[in-house]
């Protein structure tokens, strides 16, 4: 573990710090040599798709696109550590449950299928066929297929996801909780009714043409480092980059490109954001409204002066619906309310509005800072509206850019991993595979947990991910998982979820994306879809971590064959002999995949049709819809604040974020370099004046209790207070340590996403068992030195 300290990070994002960090991780995972070779194959035309994130690659160019995040993700998978049956069997599962997330993952890759032995409280080996027979028997013994739930994490390939959703629907349910439910679900739900497609509309080419790029609630320096390369190029050619984030984030301020010899040699860097607005947590909806309001004001002024209109009247007339009602709702909004809600002054809001209105072509990007609130769908519909006011949709250099997380989370949805499947998909599946698909909607993530708690969910199956750690309301969720009859996890490594298990439990180890996938007809490639709808091939090149591993498609196919024996017409085992056969089936089900096997022969693959980017609007009105929403005044934070005023206590709004050394629930290390935190994860970032106001000091230890009105107490214990450049009233801390604070009932309206970015909390001092030196309690990372 690294030394514990907190200090100001002066460097730019990227640069030598990033290279050093990668070297350290490769070394720790024992992959220095193999790792280097593996890294060189990431995002290459004949290599594998980087499992790091869903940001697209520039033409899969031949020089290695350096990315610290990707390098760590690859090192984590290509690790030389092995969680063999012997290693795991050396501990009871109750013992393992006490280990940290870091220590569990650090055991390394699982080498053979395992079954939980109740008598000894240990995982012991099981043969693959026996594992499939056992799961099949339990599934088939259920009274109702809807008692089983099938989770997906966004790394599963298109081929694996397609087979998986087919198997589950032939089995008889649409219960598809997935990571997307906790992530960009509100983006899909927000965009579909407005622009007719639940995906972003831009490509990297648009990033080259934009005059301004607005970034809301995203930390690309840590989570999408390759995006910084695009922002750096944009910044260099004078494109305005306007960031909205409560925290000062290093990667949004300056970036040194590790591939730029000049910047590296001179310790130089490129400024990223031209303008940085530190809004209040949850204030984005007010900002969108303010920007729209400013556009209308500027347009009024243009009309009065007889100048060029600010609104794109031609676009609005030809392509949109509902402008009148929307305009009225925006004009009715007072600047005072918008200021109060956003935490920005009218002057700042107007300045941001001017930047938007003056730029010819604008892209709006967003991440988790937008999607994990109660009013996320409404906020995203305002993003669409803001773009529509100036025709910033469906033309070069402009558009909507939700930046996805997991490397194939978008593809999994395209393949039908969705608890609310459209009728057209079900009809087509039924025709192509000769069965009657279940028609009722299934459970998403939060609904699945509720179903388990209610005794309606009895078998939990996960294709990847770490459900027990990624989900909210930890106490309730663990109780839910433990109440099931059977939990099954398909996974590469051992994690928390395997210790929070049902009466029976299986852990099935699979190949990772970096590994050679050998099937009957030879080595196979899989396909993935990135955040900009580009679909391309990914082929592993490392020897598998163990000879007993199966690929995800093979696991799904063999399980399906065992479970649906005698009742499925699908040739499961034949399909996985050659993945091109799976792709032929995908082509039969989805028109957009016409010529699939041919198209992926092109290096870089192909782009799926994006109707909104062609100004074709698949909505009931046939137009892009302006949808008005009131400013939220009744979020859990608003309600808690009102009660707190009565009782004279102080309630803060807490956002749970990622540190620089984690990939979701996978903890790579204890540092958060760009925020100046070393060796800690249990920290709370807080404004200096707020510390004073509540009579606490930086370095003191606190417990965090969330305040919801359901009567339950939810607490996360032992966090150290760190002074940080964050607006007053706002706090930030890391997930998953803080997940216990969010009740299952607190989700975004219309999307069901847990509200992990706005949790009303109070802080209470606890015994000060560990003193932190004064100079280690203050981080102003990001502030101008
Ligand atoms: N290294 C690494 N890469 C990753 C991941 C990882 O864990 N580690 N996870 C992957 C996944 S699945 C995802 S979804 C993405 C996530 O990538 P991001 O969307 O960047 O995720 P977060 O770190 O959760 O938070 C983003 C930012 O939102 C800001 N924020 C918090 N509340 C608000 C708010 O109310 N308004 C605004 N405007 N901003 C707010 C935070 O300060 C933070 O900078 O990254 C992917 N890539
Ligand atoms: N409080 C709070 N909670 C959050 C968030 C937040 O910002 N705040 N973010 C949410 C978001 S955006 C997301 S996407 C979810 C993430 O939720 P998940 O996707 O469930 O979680 P991950 O941590 O990405 O899953 C990591 C595990 O996946 C397994 N794995 C890795 N590679 C592979 C592979 O190739 N195949 C298989 N089968 N398994 C593999 C490994 O065992 C690893 O332990 O968490 C959500 N939870
Ligand atoms: Mo995500």
Question: Does the Cβ of 185 fall within 6 Å of ligand 1?
Answer: no
Question: Does the Cβ of 730 fall within 6 Å of ligand 1?
Answer: no
Residues in the chain: 785
**pTM of the full predicted structure?**
0.94
Average pLDDT, the chain: 92
Question: Does the Cβ of 109 fall within 6 Å of ligand 2?
Answer: no
Q: How far apart are CA 549 and CA 756, in angstroms?
A: 35
Question: Does the Cβ of 470 fall within 6 Å of ligand 2?
Answer: yes
Q: Which of 74, 409, 466, 473 to mutate to test the pocket of ligand 2 (most atoms within 8 A of CB)?
A: 466
Model pLDDT for residues 424-471, shown as the tens digit of each residue: 999 999 999 999 999 999 999 999 999 999 999 999 999 999 999 999
Model pLDDT for residues 102-130, shown as the tens digit of each residue: 899 999 999 999 999 999 999 999 999 99
Q: Which of 405, 668, 671 to mutate to test the pocket of ligand 1 (most atoms within 8 A of CB)?
A: 405
Region of 156 (left: φ > 0; alpha: ψ -120 to 50; beta: rest) is beta
Domains of the chain: 5-77 (no CATH), 82-183+408-609 (3.40.50.740), 184-403+632-785 (3.40.228.10)
Angle at CA 416, nearest 5°, toward 415 and 422? 135
Question: Is residue 60 scored above 60 in pLDDT?
Answer: no
Q: Could you say which ligand is closest to the alpha carbon of residue 666?
A: 2
Q: Could you say which ligand is closest to the alpha carbon of residue 251?
A: 1
Q: Which of 180, 223, 244, 280 to mutate to test the pocket of ligand 1 (most atoms within 8 A of CB)?
A: 223
Question: Does the Cβ of 604 fall within 6 Å of ligand 1?
Answer: no
Q: Could you say which ligand is closest to the alpha carbon of residue 488?
A: 2
Question: Does the Cβ of 536 fall within 6 Å of ligand 2?
Answer: no
Minimal-distance CA residue to ligand 2 atom 22? 465
List C-alpha distances in Å: 618 to 190, 421, 622: 14, 16, 6
Residue 57: the pLDDT is 80
Q: How far apart are CA 374 and CA 632, in angstroms?
A: 9
Q: Could you say which ligand is closest to the alpha carbon of residue 153?
A: 2
Question: Does the Cβ of 186 fall within 6 Å of ligand 2?
Answer: no
Residue 251: the pLDDT is 79
Q: Which of 18, 53, 242, 471 to mutate to test the pocket of ligand 1 (most atoms within 8 A of CB)?
A: 53
216 alpha carbon to ligand 1 midpoint, in Å? 10
Find out whether 665 and 98 touch, Cβ atoms under 8 Å: no
Minimal-distance CA residue to ligand 1 atom 8? 663
Which atom of ligand 2 lies closest to the CA of 742? 1
Q: Which of 50, 278, 369, 726 to mutate to test the pocket of ligand 1 (most atoms within 8 A of CB)?
A: 369
Region of 650 (left: φ > 0; alpha: ψ -120 to 50; beta: rest) is beta
Angle at CA 312, nearest 5°, toward 306 and 315? 140
Question: Is residue 785 scored above 50 in pLDDT?
Answer: no
Give the distance, in angstroms, between the CA of residue 359 and the centroid of all CA atoms in the same chain.
29
Residue 427: the pLDDT is 98
Kindly report the number of other CB atoms within 10 A of residue 334's CB atom: 10
Model pLDDT for residues 308-358, shown as the tens digit of each residue: 999 999 999 999 999 999 999 999 999 999 999 999 999 999 999 999 999
Question: Does the Cβ of 222 fall within 6 Å of ligand 1?
Answer: yes
Model pLDDT for residues 558-573, shown as the tens digit of each residue: 999 999 999 999 999 9
Minimal-distance CA residue to ligand 1 atom 22? 657
Determine the average pLDDT of the residues in 1-26.
63
Angle at CA 100, nearest 5°, toward 95 and 102? 130
677 alpha carbon to ligand 1 midpoint, in Å? 17
Question: Does the Cβ of 490 fall within 6 Å of ligand 2?
Answer: yes
Question: Does the Cβ of 114 fall within 6 Å of ligand 2?
Answer: no
């Amino acid at each position: 573990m690294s030394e514990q300290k907190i200090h100001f990070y002066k460097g730019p994002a990227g640069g030598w710090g990033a290279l050093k960090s990668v070297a350290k991780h490769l070394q720790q995972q024992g992959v220095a040599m193999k790792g280097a070779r593996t890294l060189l194959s990431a995002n290459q035309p004949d290599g594998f798709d980087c499992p790091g994130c869903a940001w697209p690659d520039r033409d899969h160019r031949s020089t290695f696109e350096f990315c610290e995040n990707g390098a760590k993700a690859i090192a984590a998978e290509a690790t030389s550590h092995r969680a063999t049956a012997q290693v795991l069997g050396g501990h009871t599962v109750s013992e393992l449950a006490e280990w940290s997330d870091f220590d569990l993952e650090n055991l390394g890759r699982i080498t053979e299928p395992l079954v939980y032995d109740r008598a000894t409280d240990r995982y012991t080996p099981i043969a693959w066929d026996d594992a499939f027979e056992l799961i099949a028997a339990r599934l088939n013994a259920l009274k109702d297929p809807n008692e089983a739930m099938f989770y997906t994490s966004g790394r599963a390939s298109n081929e694996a996801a397609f087979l998986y959703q087919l198997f589950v629907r032939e089995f008889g349910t649409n219960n598809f909780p997935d990571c997307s439910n906790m992530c960009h679900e509100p983006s899909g739900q927000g965009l579909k009714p407005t622009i007719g497609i639940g995906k972003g509309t831009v490509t990297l080419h648009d990033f080259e043409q934009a005059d301004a790029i607005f970034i809301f609630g995203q930390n690309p320096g840590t989570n999408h480092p390759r995006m910084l390369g695009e922002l750096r190029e944009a910044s260099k050619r004078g494109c305005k980059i306007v960031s909205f984030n409560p925290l000062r984030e290093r990667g949004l301020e300056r970036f040194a490109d590790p591939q730029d010899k000049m910047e590296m040699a001179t310790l130089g860097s490129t400024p990223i954001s031209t303008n940085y607005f530190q809004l209040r947590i949850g204030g984005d909806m007010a900002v969108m409204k303010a920007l729209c309001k400013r556009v209308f004001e500027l347009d009024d002024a243009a009309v009065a002066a007889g100048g060029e209109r600010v609104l794109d009247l031609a676009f609005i007339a030809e392509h949109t619906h509902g402008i009148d009602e929307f305009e009225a709702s925006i004009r009715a909004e007072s600047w005072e309310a918008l200021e109060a809600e956003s935490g920005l002054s009218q002057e700042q809001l107007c300045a941001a509005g001017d930047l938007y209105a003056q730029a010819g072509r604008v892209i709006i990007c967003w991440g988790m800072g937008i999607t994990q609130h109660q009013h996320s769908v409404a906020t995203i519909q305002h993003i669409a509206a803001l773009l529509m006011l100036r025709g910033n949709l469906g033309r070069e250099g402009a558009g909507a850019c939700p930046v996805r997380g997991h490397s194939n989370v978008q593809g999994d949805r395209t393949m039908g991993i969705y608890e609310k499947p459209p009728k057209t998909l079900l009809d087509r599946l039924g025709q192509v595979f000769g069965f009657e698909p279940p028609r009722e909607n299934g459970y998403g993530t939060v609904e699945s947990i509720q179903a388990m708690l209610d005794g309606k969910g009895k078998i939990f199956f996960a294709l990847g991910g770490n459900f027990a750690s990624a989900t909210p309301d930890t106490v309730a969720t663990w109780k839910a998982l433990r109440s099931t009859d059977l939990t099954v996890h398909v996974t590469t490594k051992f994690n928390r979820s395997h210790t929070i298990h049902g009466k029976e439990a299986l852990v099935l180890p699979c190949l990772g994306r970096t590994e050679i996938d050998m099937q009957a007809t030879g080595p196979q490639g899989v396909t993935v879809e990135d955040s900009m709808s580009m679909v391309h091939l990914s082929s592993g090149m490392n020897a598998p971590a163990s000879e007993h591993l199966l690929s995800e498609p093979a696991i799904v196919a063999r399980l399906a064959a065992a479970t649906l024996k005698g009742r499925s017409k699908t040739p499961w085992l034949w399909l996985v002999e050659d993945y091109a056969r799976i792709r032929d089936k995908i082509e039969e089900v989805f028109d957009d995949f016409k010529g699939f096997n041919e198209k992926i022969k092109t290096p870089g693959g192909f782009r799926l049709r994006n109707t909104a980017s062609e100004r074709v609007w698949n909505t009931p009105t046939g137009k892009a819809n302006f949808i008005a929403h009131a400013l939220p005044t009744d979020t859990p934070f608003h309600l808690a604040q009102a009660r707190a005023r009565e009782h004279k206590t102080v309630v803060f709004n807490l956002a749970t974020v990622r540190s620089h050394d984690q990939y979701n629930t996978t903890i790579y290390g204890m540092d958060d370099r760009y925020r100046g935190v070393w060796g800690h994860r249990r920290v709370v970032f807080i404004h200096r004046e707020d510390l004073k106001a509540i009579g606490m000091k930086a370095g003191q230890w606190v417990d965090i209790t969330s305040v919801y009105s359901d009567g339950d107490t939810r607490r996360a214990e032992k966090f150290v207070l760190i002074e940080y450049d964050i607006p007053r009233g706002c706090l930030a801390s890391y997930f998953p340590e803080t997940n216990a604070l969010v009740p299952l009932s607190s989700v975004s309206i219309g999307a069901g996403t847990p509200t992990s970015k706005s949790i009303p909390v109070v802080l209470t001092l606890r015994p000060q068992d560990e003193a932190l030196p004064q100079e280690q309690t203050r981080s102003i990372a990001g502030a101008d030195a």
